[in-house]
Amino acid sequence: MELKNFSLEGKIALVTGASYGIGFAIACGMAKCGATICFNDIKQELVDKGIAAYKEAGIEAHGYVCDVTDEDAVNALVATIEKEVGVIDILVNNAGIIKRIPMCEMTAAQFRQVIDVDLNAPFIVSKAVIPSMIKKGHGKIINICSMMSELGRETVSAYAAAKGGLKMLTKNICSEYGEYNIQCNGIGPGYIETPQTAPLRERQPDGSRHPFDQFIVSKTPAARWGTTEDLVGPAVFLASDASDFVNGHILYVDGGILAYIGKQPQ
Ligand SMILES: NC(=O)C1=CN([C@@H]2O[C@H](COP(=O)(O)OP(=O)(O)OC[C@H]3O[C@@H](n4cnc5c(N)ncnc54)[C@H](O)[C@@H]3O)[C@@H](O)[C@H]2O)C=CC1
Ligand SMILES: O=C(O)C(=O)C[C@H](O)C(=O)CO
């Protein structure tokens, strides 16, 4: 028996919203395993910063400005990548936003904006890459889900609705396109240190830790926040031939939060 390989040599990956944060770390990990990296972000300034950061890491990434909620722009992006770089083998739907607003104070427009970036966009980008994956005979789609694909909490109704929906979109892409050798899986990161979660870790005026920061550490059996590096191995696995029979699965990389009932009061 031959061990299926974790190498991404010869593969072309598109990671959305990957100038920094989780997307950047995943893209760097994939590049180290041999993949050619394409990424997009919403502004030229971010793309330029991203290209410089990849360069510093020794990676020649192809960066593009594209808003993932704009279907015409996404279709043009995928056509450009196919022409300039080649057919995309691996798509990581990473771009995302959060709005922390109590539900009854949130406007419908704010709710829609979150759904648009976190749920509609993965549909739009996946739809744009799947036809060429079918022609090529294989493809990997990784959707960056969340703890909020399973759990709710105060103030994140739109985000939880979107990430719960993304979990089901993942299972549905697997159901519709598995027969074409396309695997669509999700990664559900726990609480990870990135700009998105920075407000939850801000020091208090007296220098003490943010109560949410302490709450997360107490809820996580690993007793720490995750780092973007924690997500790299799982992403490489789901992008590689080693996961060819893994489909429609959400891999939670959460230090054990979902397994844990929480510390009993002392
Ligand atoms: N940080 C965390 O604890 C967790 C994050 N996630 C998810 O992981 C993904 C990445 O998160 P982070 O790196 O923490 O976020 P971040 O806020 O640090 O980075 C998000 C990236 O997406 C880009 N982006 C936002 N809207 C876009 C649009 N319309 N078009 C193109 N690019 C756009 C941003 O410019 C940025 O580069 C998101 O989907 C997030 O919901 C999931 C679970 C935990
Ligand atoms: O609860 C919040 O506030 C968050 O920022 C949620 C995290 O980004 C997340 O997705 C945890 O999985």
The pLDDT tens digits of the residues spanning 123-182 come to 999 999 999 999 999 999 999 999 999 999 999 999 999 999 999 999 999 999 999 999
The pLDDT tens digits of the residues spanning 89-110 come to 999 999 999 999 999 999 999 9
Task: Read off the pTM.
Answer: 0.98
- Residues of the chain with pLDDT > 70, as a percent, come to 98
CATH code of the domain in which 186 resides: 3.40.50.720
Q: Is the CB of 194 under 6 A from ligand 1?
A: yes
- What's the number of domains the chain is made of? 1
pLDDT of residue 87: 98
Q: Is residue 211, in this structure, part of any structural domain at all? A: no
Per DSSP, 247 falls in state -
Q: Is residue 7, in this structure, part of any structural domain at all? A: no
Q: Is residue 103, in this structure, part of any structural domain at all? A: yes
Residue with tokens 């722009």: 73
The pLDDT tens digits of the residues spanning 28-42 come to 999 999 999 999 999
Among residues 159, 177, 191, 252, the one annotated as catalytic is 159
pLDDT of residue 264: 87
Q: Is the CB of 162 under 6 A from ligand 1?
A: no
3 state DSSP class of 156: coil
CA pair distance 167, 98, nearest whole angstrom: 17
Q: Is 159 a catalytic residue?
A: yes
Q: Which residues contact 43 (CB under 8 A, 6 or more apart)?
A: 65
Atom of ligand 1 nearest to the CA of 69: 29
3 state DSSP class of 186: strand
59 pLDDT exceeds 60? yes
User: Where does residue 117 rank: exposed (0-12), middle (13-18), buried (19+ CB within 10 A)?
Assistant: buried
Ligand lying nearest the CA atom of residue 150:
2
Q: Is residue 218, in this structure, part of any structural domain at all? A: no
Q: What angle do CA 95, 18, 101 make, to 5 degrees?
A: 35
CA pair distance 233, 39, nearest whole angstrom: 19
pLDDT of residue 218: 95
Phi, psi of 123 (to 5 degrees): -65, -45
CA pair distance 117, 99, nearest whole angstrom: 12
Ligand lying nearest the CA atom of residue 117:
1
Q: Is the CB of 69 under 6 A from ligand 1?
A: yes
CA pair distance 192, 43, nearest whole angstrom: 24
Which of 1, 2, 3, 4 shows the shortest CA–CA distance to 239? 4
Q: Is residue 22, in this structure, part of any structural domain at all? A: yes
Q: Is residue 141, in this structure, part of any structural domain at all? A: yes
Neighbours of 28 (CB within 10 A): 21
Pairing of strands 62-65, 90-93: unpaired
Which of 99, 234, 119, 214 shows the shortest CA–CA distance to 173? 119
Expressed in angstroms and rounded, the spacing between residue 190 Cα and the centre of ligand 2 is 8
Q: Is residue 1, in this structure, part of any structural domain at all? A: no
CA pair distance 27, 142, nearest whole angstrom: 12
Q: Is residue 21, in this structure, part of any structural domain at all? A: yes
Q: Determine the structural domain holding residue 231 and report its residue range.
A: 12-193+225-259
